[in-house]
Amino acid sequence: MPGQSAWIGTALPLLILALIMAFRFRNLSQPRRLRPERLWIAPVLYLALVALALVEMPPVTTGWLAFGAALLVGAAVGWQRARFMRIEHDPVADTLTIRQSPAALLLILVIVAIRRIGASATVLAQRGGSPLSPQALWLTDALLGFALGMIAGQRTELWLRARQLRAAALPQTFE
């Protein structure tokens, strides 16, 4: 049935996302260990993936401007998302724990919805023009920039806050 395969292609990703978010909402109250010394790994790995994706990017100013603007917006969104998260320091064990807030998770849902709309717009642009229409490429480049900025902004804010918490926990010496 042709209608059934179209339904599965549309509904299945949304169903999987709903299940993942249900599990995430259920575990919001449980703290997870935060290791500030490892916060740089995800942004560097994603930067490498984005660089590989952009190596073949044609030198079109509009595409690079879309990427740069989305990178900045993504960094601001990631920074704000990290501010919603609660970091706690256990001075006895000298460990940090982090709890995601519902607002931070809701922000991710909004971003996923925006990305889904962007992917649909890319498909529509490809149907209307050539398979590699410039508008579709600009949109995908902007989405790459947004994701990179969000990961980097979030991890930077978490690292700064973790460093500040640990510094505040150190005994102060006065001369």
In a domain, 110, yes or no: yes
In a domain, 60, yes or no: yes
86-90/32-34 β-pairing: unpaired
In a domain, 13, yes or no: no
What is the pLDDT tens value at each position of the chain, 175 positions in all? Answer: 455 555 565 566 667 767 777 776 776 667 888 898 999 998 898 888 888 877 766 666 777 888 899 999 999 999 998 998 888 888 888 888 888 777 666 666 666 666 666 666 656 655 655 454 556 667 777 888 888 999 999 999 999 999 998 888 766 555 5
| CA–CA gap between residue 64 and residue 57 (Å, rounded) | 9
Q: What is the predicted pLDDT for the residue at 68? A: 92
In a domain, 19, yes or no: no
Q: What is the predicted pLDDT for the residue at 80? A: 92
Q: What is the predicted pLDDT for the residue at 73? A: 95
In a domain, 71, yes or no: yes
In a domain, 112, yes or no: yes
| CA–CA gap between residue 29 and residue 156 (Å, rounded) | 23
Q: Residue written as tokens 């023009």?
A: 129
**Residue 110, domain extent:** 36-169
Q: Residue written as tokens 């690292």?
A: 159
Total domains, the chain: 1
What value, to the nearest 5°, has the Cα angle with vertex 18 and ends 3 and 4? 10
CB atoms < 10 A from the CB of 22, how many? 10
